[in-house]
Amino acid sequence: MSQLVLVRHGQSVYNLENRFTGNLDVLLTPFGEEEAKKAGTKLRSYKFDFAFTSTLKRAQESLKIILAEIEQSAINVVKNSALNERMYGSLQGLNKEETSNKYGIDQVELWRRSYAIRPPDGESLEDTFNRTIPFYKLEIEPKLKLEKTILIVAHGNSLRALMMYLEKISVDEIAKINIPTGVPRLYTFDQNLTILQCVYL
């Protein structure tokens, strides 16, 4: 049996300001730090063999706080851009409400939630899937097959891509899924990596 825990980073400065963040490297808010600490509290009973995160500070800092909370700061941490948030192109840094007023709510929702449609000069969820899942298959699946326990702290869209792959979620269904910040999602697998359990903690 192996276990995988996914955690979306705590609230960032741009989350608080209702801005498109994408791969801009913004920091956590004090509330985001508390969310990461609470995630750690929920994970105290788990002993992780490996931890993975993106190259962006908000995910790395969330992971650091979680590992400190569970007293596992010495764990081997792998940082890779394959787990970065999707790049929102020319929308990055813009206020979401103002952008909706400019382009229309329906258009902005298409850019945000659809699988294949890219925001201007940015990545779609499909693009994110196509860089996140090969990395997962190469670096993480083999460790799960060895019955390791793994923690991934990353971003809303890179984790949605992982959820699509792991749970066989359709293109239509993934548009309805929003991953909360700082709430661990636990997967328990059998020897063939068939999901035995999938829950938010």
- From residue 93, alpha-carbon distances to 9, 23, 59, 102, 154 in Å are 18, 10, 18, 15, 19
Pairing of strands 76-79, 50-53: parallel
Give the residue numbers annotated as catalytic, written as ranges. 9, 85
Separation between Cα atoms, residue 192 and residue 184, nearest integer Å: 23
Separation between Cα atoms, residue 198 and residue 166, nearest integer Å: 10
127: helix, coil or strand?
Answer: helix
Q: Which two tokens stand for residue 124?
A: 């779609």
Question: Which alpha helices (H) appear in the chain, and where do they start and end?
Answer: 13-16, 30-42, 57-69, 96-103, 105-113, 125-135, 141-145, 156-167, 171-174
